[in-house]
Amino acid sequence: ETGVTQTPRHLVMGMTNKKSLKCEQHLGHNAMYWYKQSAKKPLELMFVYSLEERVENNSVPSRFSPECPNSSHLFLHLHTLQPEDSALYLCASSQDLGGGANVLTFGAGSRLTVL
Amino acid sequence: GQNIDQPTEMTATEGAIVQINCTYQTSGFNGLFWYQQHAGEAPTFLSYNVLDGLEEKGRFSSFLSRSKGYSYLLLKELQMKDSASYLCAVNPGNTGKLIFGQGTTLQVKP
């Protein structure tokens, strides 16, 4: 496979459940990101990892817990979510973190519905 | 604060030309990106501007005026497959942490 792959594509969970979103990139990139995309709102940056170290946590509630075990994989662990957390969660990667022309390659997203 | 504005929706006719505007106010500027996102799919990179002027890539062109905090994406010879959301994003610094606008949903009609 090439590019950025996200699983599952769709997830429905109750507020008391624990689930995880997975992202894998086959591009040899060093930086990975989690974005939240809600209807009619700009993409919100949640977490950034560079060389497996977290470099950004944009005031995200602790019910979202990221994990980056290596430079190719990124997880978002979910627990005790709220209905307002229902959104499309996009994973992205880029060659590095710095520089102006830092092109992001996105996955197709995981559509999360919290009941 | 950081703010990026673009129209929410636009409609155009197949074969026509459409211009999608983006204005930005950010703490810094290190380039502006345009991405295309079809429904249910990943956003894909279209263009990057860091200097003033027009960048042309086939049917798509992107323009930047840094002094005005303004960019536009120009789509020529519109095709039905161009129906998508177009996301404007600014890199305000040197960290790759892009700030996105809410996106413009373009509907191309026959």
Strand-by-strand arrangement of the B60-65 sheet: B3-5, B18-25, B70-75, B60-65, B53-57
* Pairwise CA distance, residues B94 & A107, whole Å: 23
Over residues A53-80, the pLDDT tens digits come to 887 777 899 999 999 999 899 999 999 9
Under 8 Å between Cβ of A35 and A46: yes
Q: What is the pLDDT of residue A37?
A: 95
Q: What is the pLDDT of residue A40?
A: 82
Tell me: pLDDT of B24 over 90: yes
Over residues B53-110, the pLDDT tens digits come to 999 999 999 999 999 999 999 999 999 999 999 999 999 887 768 899 999 999 999 9
Over residues A9-51, the pLDDT tens digits come to 999 998 888 999 999 999 999 999 999 999 889 999 999 998 8
Under 8 Å between Cβ of A65 and A59: no
* Pairwise CA distance, residues A5 & B9, whole Å: 29
Q: What is the pLDDT of residue A2?
A: 66
A20 vs B: CB within 8 A: no
Tell me: pLDDT of A97 over 60: yes
Q: Chain B residues with CB inside 8 Å of A104's CB?
A: 35, 43, 45, 96, 98
CB contact under 8 A, A99 and B96: yes
Q: What is the pLDDT of residue A57?
A: 76
Q: Chain A residues with CB inside 8 Å of B44's CB?
A: 106
At residue A84, φ and ψ (nearest 5 deg) are -70, -5
Q: What is the pLDDT of residue B110?
A: 95
More confident residue, A40 or A91: A91
pLDDT tier, A1 (very low <50, low <70, confident <90, very high otherwise): low
Give A114 to chain B, closest Cα distance, Å.
18
